[in-house]
Amino acid sequence: MSDSTSANALSVDHVAVHFGGLVAIADMTFSVDRGEVVSLIGPNGAGKTTAFNVVTGFLQPTKGTVTYQGRQVNGLKPHQIADLGLVRTFQKTSVFDTNTVFDNILIGLHRRGQRSAWEVLLSLPRVRREEEELRAKAWDILEFVGLDRQANSLGGALAYGEQRLLEVAVALAAEPSLLLLDEPVSGMNPSETSSFMDLLAKMRERHITMLLVEHDMRMVMGVSDRIVVLNDGHIIAEGSPESIQNNPEVIKAYLGEGAEHVGN
């Protein structure tokens, strides 16, 4: 038992979330291992984004615990959780609109800087050195996601697909060990989606563990090691993409009771 917990990067243990009388998540237990790409899928309103909010500290669970690398996470503030390496993106596109793409990344790099207010006010040489290092890192990240040519555009002025890339770039700048992506390709056209999948593959090579909420099944089946299916606040299935595709419970959740007859 203790072995399995140490292998798990993230474990969500019997988490429930109630909003007054409304049960958003009834009882949810799943885990993500280091280096894995896990997708959380389910119909609209199943509780996927709520699960994200609980894991990243934007919501407190009513019951249950969330642990990351052996540390209890629920009860910490979002920025403290980000400091542990758990970094998320948002379902609704979320960048710093009035800052340039480059400055967006610099803000994302916040965690990597250490200089105190006093050092900044005295303008010590190490402040300048750190600033140069951060700028170099920002360029690396922009090149990695392929936004280097837009470095001077405003975040809010980018095309939709590019904004979604920028979001991921900002999250990457925060140096995640587990990256939580909330519907990263929603609203993208097929070519944008496939270039995003290439980016995911590159991130995988860097051993970034990922938890993904996504509706695009082609992408989910293509990138996931494991899939967790959530319906009505309960986990109804968990397993490899192949097993999920053929799971009658999942088909029922997505297509309704009569679906199996349609197939026959």
The nearest distance, CB 208 to another protein, in angstroms, is 15
For residues 208, 51, 196, 215, the Cα torsion angle rounded to the nearest 10 degrees is 140
Q: How far is the CB of 70 from another protein (least distance, A)?
A: 20
Q: Which residues pair with 31 in a beta bridge?
A: 11
Residues that bind another protein (CB under 8 A): 56, 58, 77-80, 82-83, 87-90, 94-99, 103, 106-111, 113, 115, 117, 120-121, 123, 127, 130-131, 134, 170-171, 173-174
Residue nearer to another protein on the CB measure, 67 or 94: 94
Cβ distance to another protein smaller for residue 171 or 227: 171
* Distance of closest approach, residue 77 Cβ to another protein, in angstroms: 7
CA distance 57 to 81: 7
In this complex, which beta carbon is closest to another protein, that of residue 48 or of residue 226?
48
Helix, strand, coil shares of the chain as percentages rounded to 5? 45, 25, 30
Paired tokens of 103: 């400055």
Q: Please say which residue, 123 or 246, places its beta carbon nearer to another protein.
A: 123
- Which C-beta is closer to another protein: that of 68 or that of 231? 68
For the CB of residue 171, give the shortest distance to another protein in the complex, in Å. 7
The burial of 170, by beta-carbon neighbours within 10 Å (0-12 exposed, 13-18 middle, 19 or more buried), is given as: buried
To the nearest whole angstrom, how small is the minimum distance from the Cβ of residue 202 to another protein?
Answer: 20
Could you tell me the two tokens for 1? 């038992």
Residue type at 13 in one-letter notation: D
